[in-house]
Amino acid sequence: MRSPQLEYNGDWGKNVEKSNLFDTIKIITKLLNEFFIGVLNMSRICAVCSKGPQVANLVSNANNRVKRWVYPNVHTTRYTITGDAHNHVHRAKVCTKCIKAGKIKKVI
């Protein structure tokens, strides 16, 4: 697998117009997605807020503590990002807090 190539002209972050800024963000996001493809597509991780499993303690009546995993409420959905002008449809795992907060809009 080849690593993605991107030409650097020395102007990143300097005098970037708003239209070019969106294109630059799209390019950087695409490169990160290609580089971290195994990390971003893991199960039980929200694609919007990156919320993932946490370690917590299971406490008994005798105050014995045992480590356990707490998973976010994640569902595979088709959605568009709220405020996106292009309305691209994505399919990924999203937590219910992001759906309720209105960060995404479900597509049926």
What is the pLDDT tens value at each position of the chain, 108 positions in all?
455 555 555 555 555 455 677 777 778 877 776 666 555 456 899 999 999 999 999 999 999 999 999 999 999 999 998 888 888 898 999 999 999 999 999 998
C-alpha 19/C-alpha 95 separation (Å) is: 31
Do 23 and 67 have their domain in common?
Answer: no
Do 37 and 89 have their domain in common?
Answer: no
What is the number of domains present in the chain?
2
List Cβ neighbours of 76 (8 Å cut-off, separation of 6 or more).
Answer: 91, 92, 93, 94
Do 36 and 49 have their domain in common?
Answer: no
Residue 9, in any domain of the structure: no
Torsion of CA 53, 57, 60, 62, to 10 degrees: 170
Residue 3, in any domain of the structure: no
C-alpha 13/C-alpha 72 separation (Å) is: 36
Do 69 and 88 have their domain in common?
Answer: yes
Helix (H, G, I), strand (E, B) or coil at 26: helix
Residue 50, in any domain of the structure: yes
Q: Which domain holds residue 34?
A: 15-43
pTM: 0.57
Q: Which CATH number does the domain housing residue 95 bear?
A: 2.30.170.40
Do 29 and 52 have their domain in common?
Answer: no
